Amino acid sequence: MKLKKLLTRILFYSIIVFISLSIIFPIYWLIATSIKAKLDIFTYPPKFLFFTFENNYYRPFILEGYTKLLINSIIVSIGNVILVAPIAFIAAYALSRYKIYGGGTIYFWALTNRMAPPAAFIIPYYLIFTGLGLYDTQLSLIIVYSVFNLPFAIWLLKAGVDSIPRAIDDAAIVDGCSIGTLIVKIMLPLSFPSLAATSIMVFFYSWNEYLLASILTSYNARTITTGLTAFISTVGIRWGEMAAVGTVCLIPTTIVVIILQKYIVSGLTMGAVKG
């Protein structure tokens, strides 16, 4: 019996170690490649630890303007969160607390919009933003990303609002709270974990999105993800510099997760259990 328990524990921890290495090793390899000399990048067998150092960050961020692309990505992602979060929260509160005629249909329709493939909307969006003079602007990306993120954000936030007892609303209204005060001073703080988790997911989608950004921008509003393809040419692939830009791409998302990590699990599971 003890042997069986020991073997089970060894198998369990072996699986955890394997999964952890599967996640950590690609990140390590990306960072290592970003500081490797070109010769060491193509060396076989590959060098995991002892390799020649080369600064692959200088050319893309100092000479080729990738800093501007990074700033564009930050502005678009944060702008998308600022636009989506309050609208989604108000919509989620309305769908959760009020008996709206056709509310279930509206909720389902919003979710089905998120299920549609972005590629189906490329030509209409291109024509619309070109006609409005918003092509190759950060605002166009913020608007488009909001269209795709709003249904998902409403879905997550509604579950969070549903988990808050209605008795709290009733007590606040009896005490003289207006709907605005109720939402801002009571519901918003109570829903903060789900709001933080939703903001993280919206930020990630905006940060990682490539297809729409590659079509709706050309130079001024290009994001860092679209810039990665510039390292691939007929001459070859600049692996070191591509890895350098990829490493920098990890920094903002890592910072966001570190700051808000305690809200991710609680926020995503709010509303999962009722009672």
CATH number, position 150: 1.10.3720.10
Residues 186 and 168: beta-carbon distance below 8 Å = yes
Residue 8 has pLDDT above 80, yes or no: yes
Residue 148 forms part of a structural domain: yes
User: Quick check: is 91 in a domain?
Assistant: yes
Q: Are residues 37 and 173 in the same domain?
A: no
Nearest residue to 184 via CA among 86, 97, 270: 86
Residue 23 lies inside a defined structural domain of this protein:
yes
- CB under 8 Å to 260, separation ≥6 — which residues? 196, 197, 199, 200
Q: Is 40 helix (H, G, I), strand (E, B) or coil?
A: helix
Query: Is the residue at 52 inside a domain?
Result: no
pLDDT digits (tens, 9 = 90+) for 166-175: 888 788 888 7
Residues 86 and 12 in one domain: no
The domain of 29 spans 2-41
How far is the C-alpha of 57 from the C-alpha of 70, rounded, in Å? 13
Are residues 7 and 100 both part of a single domain? no
pLDDT value, residue 273? 46
Per-residue pLDDT, averaged over 148-175, amounts to: 83
Whether residue 274 is contained in a domain is answered as no
Residue 29 sits in the same domain as residue 145: no
CA distances in angstroms from 119 to 127, 148, 149, 232, listed in the order given: 14, 12, 15, 23
Q: Is residue 113 part of a domain?
A: yes
Residue 146: inside a domain: yes
Domain count, the chain: 2
Identify whether residues 108 and 207 lie together within a single domain.
yes
Tell me, yes or no, whether 79 and 27 share the same domain: no
Q: Which of 97-106, 150-159, 163-172, 221-230 has the lowest mean pLDDT?
A: 97-106
Residue showing tokens 């699986």: 15
pTM of the predicted structure, to 2 decimals = 0.81
Tell whether the model's pLDDT for residue 269 goes beyond 60: no
